[in-house]
Chain A
Amino acid sequence: MMPLPWLVVFFPWLGAALLVALPRLRLAAAVNLGVSAVSLLLALLLLDTPHGEQGWTRVDALNQPLVLLSAIIGLTTSVYSYGQLDAKGFDHWRLRAYHGAYQLFMGAQALALLADNMGVMWVAIEIATMASVTMVAVHGTPAAMEAAWKFFILCGVGIALALFGTVILYMAAQPVVGHGDGGLSWAALRAMSARCDAGLLNLAFVFLLVGYGTKAGLVPLHFWLPDAEAEGPVSISAVLSGLLLNAAMVAVLRAKSIVAANPEAIPPGPFLMALGLASVLLASFALWRRRDARRLFAWSSIQHMGLAAFAFGLGGVGGTLAGLLHLLGHSLTKSAVFFGVGLATRLKGSQKIAAIGGLATSHPALGWSLVVAIAAVAGMPPFALFASEFLLLAETASRFWWLLLPLGLGVFVAVTAKVNVLQQLCLGDATPDAAGPPPGRLAVLTTLGPIWVHLALAAVLGAALPAGGGVLLAQAAEMLR
């Protein structure tokens, strides 16, 4: 019998193989839904698994909540995509590619989270990249093709550099860990880090940070993200910002914790803080200049990833806890917004902000759901992002009070930009709907349902962190510091 963590990875891949073979559209979407539901069940069972290593994977307090989160978002995204099937205008080949790539992606990003071996983690992130490129390109429009190409070239360079970093990481550890598979194990590297060559560790961290940081959308290498999230299908925007960015950020975090365990190496925290702060500042000002709703929320992903990177760079139990909570909260709320914006785009026939207006008057149910979702992304209480941003600011104030000014400025500008876009999209005078039949009841229900599930979870996380979850996150933060 395969260990459970492997099942979490291989089951979606099995599903992918099946989905590529299925000819009928409706059936394929239903099977996709079923595979995602079983994956969620497996992820729930994983919570009960004792922490420890199973060959190339390791279950720990860090990946248990993140795998559960990705399975939840995987299921809600499948529900959403089931409802939007008639609108996508896919022929069956495109749909096969889309569903196959979707489940391949889900398995790969679960593997990236679960992997203990840094080499396996790299392969997982590579597979996730190739699957998501396929999904971004699936519409086949010039804009989608261009977005996919830019995504691929930039992330191709990014993951190539990450592999180089992985090789150097092994070189640093080689005299201590010796030959064999154990040489790339995260736990082993971390335990022996203090005896590794500090200079090589520094060099490895630079490459790992730049490489995986590209995938996490950190600032100097973020160009691919707005295009990829604006031009692919809406469901891919939800899983890209919700899951792929998290997997890449966890990779950075694991690299950081190896290097930080060596007292002679240059502390990696300040690098992460600098990249994070740059992302927050650039993205929060860029938010004001967006005219396209999906691009705006893609930029908001860059801003939130910047905040998380800053929190991880700050380190310590408090900072890491804030960062983890921020990752969870951002994934839940951002994918809820993308579902809402996706349906609004379909109703109005455009994703320009100017063309979507007054949703709360013309489509009250969608409009008010989107109001709450955007408020949650902006970091309003009681949702998780409020709690994590509050924790982060408090932690910053107590340790580096002088950083509070730029960080606070970034957060403030971003919040005002999002409140502004909330007013434009949802309140005010309604713009005319697109010609053609409006989306059916199924499409509306499969959008509103996932949005409210995500918002409820985000509220629970923010207002009253469930006892078990809190313990897990605290353990993870304690483990990583």
Chain B
Amino acid sequence: MGKLPYDIAHLLGGAMLLLSFVLLYQRRVQAVINAFAVQGGVLALAAAWQANMQGVPELYLTALIAFVAKAVLIPLALRAMLRRLDLHRAVETALGIGTSMMAGVAVVALAILVVLPITAGARAIAREDLALALSVVLLGMLMMITRRNAISQVVGLMSLENGLVLAAVGAAGMPLVVELSTAALVLVVFVVAGFFVFQIRERFDSVDTAALESHRGEGAGDGWRGEGAGDGWRGDAGQDGQRGGAGQA
């Protein structure tokens, strides 16, 4: 087999990694969702390319599912949610661009340093794919750690999951790939739905997860579903809402 198929697989994996970096530094929530949609599309292409290269038609199904769910439906749902919550122009203060990038580069270097030496025996394509996938996974985790906005954390988890699917489709001959990637997608959809339910029920006055920290169940409140604790929680959330407002202004 020629070298070109491998190069294309690498190109697609590299594009996903690049988009993970875009996700890491974007400040506008809307832009984060756009970048995620593009990453989902690239993942679908990567899966389709692997299907072609390995001659496994089932992977086309994975590609189709990834495209429909991650490039189209989930971004649309998230965008509708943002409009409904009037957050579509929200700006959040992630780490500074420089710091995020440096942390991201460090994480990728770590992934490469971990993967390349221990897979010296494996085929080149497998080890480089694995290094790319591990980088996408770790960058997704980094995004979840550095972001405080709940919706960005959800996107971080989904981007992490993109890395998983990339690894799974790259592992030639992996059984149950379609089943496992679909099951992982179900998890993601459940997270998005859970987030949606929280918002609809207006349990959170702000989507800032900092508001969650104030209620640890061991505060001064007496009742176990205590009024005191509940009030404190709402009060804090209100303040956070104001802070968020100030950030937008």
Q: Which candidate, B35-43, B66-74, B76-84, B157-165, is the interface stretch facing chain A?
A: B157-165
Give residues 184-230 of B contacting A (CB, 8 Å): 184, 186-187, 190-191, 194, 198, 201, 203, 212, 215-218, 222-226, 229-230
A168-B167, A295-B218 given; A156·B174 CB < 8 A:
no
Cα of A200 to Cα of B117 in the assembled complex, Å:
10
User: Is the C-beta of B107 less than 8 angstroms from some C-beta in chain A?
Assistant: no
Report the stretch among A12-20, A29-37, A145-153, A324-332 that lies at the interface.
Answer: A145-153
Residue pair B184, A163 in contact (C-beta under 8 Å)? yes
Alpha-carbon distance A182/B175, docked complex (angstroms): 8
Question: In the complex the two chains form, is B218's CB within 8 Å of A171's CB?
Answer: no
Give Cα A345–Cα B229 distance, bound, in whole angstroms: 17
- Say whether A199 faces chain B, with CB atoms less than 8 Å apart: yes
* Chain B nearest CB, measured from A212 CB (Å): 15
On chain A, the residues within 8 Å of B246 by CB distance are none
Contact of A130 among B133, B160, B173, B190 (CB under 8 A): B190
CA distance A276 to B154 in the complex (A): 30
B97 at interface (Cβ–Cβ under 8 A)?
Answer: no
CB nearest neighbor in B for A350: B224
Is B4 in the interface zone, CB < 8 Å from A? no
Tell me, rounded to whole Å, the shortest Cβ–Cβ distance linking A108 to chain B.
12
Q: For the complex, is A77 an interface residue (Cβ under 8 Å from B)?
A: no
A288 to B246: give the CA distance in the assembly, Å.
41
The answer to whether A355 has its CB under 8 Å from any CB of chain B is yes
List the A side residues contacting B163 at CB < 8 Å: 164
Instruction: Tell me, rounded to whole Å, the shortest Cβ–Cβ distance linking A270 to chain B.
Output: 18
Which among B9-17, B21-29, B120-128 touches the partner chain? B120-128
Choice from A129, A143, A153, A199 contacting B229 with Cβ under 8 Å: A143
Residue of B nearest to A202 (CB): B118
- Residue among B153, B176, B191, B194 making CB contact with A119, cutoff 8 Å: B176
Contact for A122 among B180, B212, B233, CB less than 8 A: B180
A window 193-209: CB within 8 A of B = 197, 199-200, 202-203
Shortest Cβ distance from A140 into B: residue = B201
- Decide if A171 touches B179 in the complex (CB within 8 Å): no
Measured CA separation A92–B203 after assembly (Å): 21
Least CB distance from A408 to B in Å reads 29
B172 close to A (CB within 8 Å): yes
- For B218, what are the chain A residues with a Cβ–Cβ distance below 8 Å? 290-292, 295
Neighbouring B residues of A202 by C-beta, 8 Å:
118
Determine if A157 and B224 form an interchain contact, defined as CB atoms under 8 angstroms apart: no
Instruction: Determine if A157 and B171 form an interchain contact, defined as CB atoms under 8 angstroms apart.
Output: no
Does more than half of chain A's interface fall in helix, strand or loop, or is it mixed? helix
A141 surroundings in chain B (CB, below 8 A): 225, 230
Chain B residues positioned under 8 Å from A163 (CB to CB): 164, 168, 180, 184
Alpha-carbon distance between A243 and B144 when the two chains are bound, in angstroms: 29
Instruction: Name the distance in Å between A259's Cβ and chain B's nearest Cβ.
Output: 13
Q: How large is the interface on A (under 10, 10 to 19, 20 to 34, 35 or more residues)?
A: 35 or more
> Which of B117, B183, B230 is close to A126, meaning CB atoms less than 8 Å apart?
B183
Give complex CA distance A119, B171 in Å: 14
Interface centre among A149, A166, A290 (most CB of B within 10 A): A149
Knowing A143-B217, A163-B184, A291-B218, say if A157 contacts B121 (CB, 8 Å). Answer: no
Confirm or deny: A26 has a beta carbon within 8 angstroms of a beta carbon on chain B.
Answer: no
Report the Cα distance A180→B122, complex, angstroms: 19
* Chain B residues whose C-beta falls within 8 Å of the C-beta of A147 in the assembled complex: 217
Q: Is the CB of B118 within 8 A of A200?
A: yes
Q: Does B46 contact A (CB under 8 A)?
A: no
Q: Which residue of B lies closest to A226 (CB)?
A: B217
Q: Which residue of A lies closest to B198 (CB)?
A: A145
Residue A71 lies at the interface, judged by CB distance under 8 Å to chain B:
no
Query: B52: CB under 8 A from chain A?
Result: no
Q: Does A168 contact B121, Cβ atoms closer than 8 Å? A: no
B122 and A160 contacting across the interface, CB-CB below 8 Å: no
Contact of A345 among B168, B224, B233 (CB under 8 A): B224
Docked CA distance A111–B194 (Å) = 25
Q: Hey, which chain A residues are within 8 Å of B198, CB to CB?
A: 145, 149
Neighbouring A residues of B230 by C-beta, 8 Å: 141-143
Q: CA of A143 to CA of B71 in the docked complex: distance in angstroms?
A: 34
| Interface members, chain A 306-347 (any B CB < 8 Å) | 345
Q: Across the two chains, which residue of chain B brings its CB closest to A178? A: B173
Is B141's CB within 8 Å of the partner chain A? Answer: yes
Within the complex, what minimum Cβ distance (angstroms) separates A403 from chain B? 29
- Kindly state the separation between the CA atoms of A139 and B224 in the bound complex, as whole angstroms: 12
- Chain B interface residues toward A at CB < 8 A: 114-115, 117-122, 126, 130, 133-134, 137, 141, 144, 150, 153, 157, 160-161, 163-164, 167-168, 171-176, 179-180, 183-184, 186-187, 190-191, 194, 198, 201, 203, 212, 215-218, 222-226, 229-230, 233-234
Q: Return 20 A-B CB contacts under 8 Å, by A number.
A: A117-B175, A120-B176, A126-B184, A129-B187, A142-B203, A145-B198, A164-B133, A164-B167, A167-B164, A168-B130, A171-B122, A171-B130, A174-B172, A174-B173, A179-B173, A180-B175, A183-B175, A199-B117, A203-B118, A227-B217
* A-B complex: 4 closest residue pairs judged by Cβ atoms: A199-B118, A179-B173, A351-B224, A119-B176
If A153-B191, A292-B224 are given as contacts, then 5 extra A-B residue pairs at C-beta distance below 8 Å, sorted by A number, are A147-B217, A159-B187, A171-B171, A174-B172, A200-B122
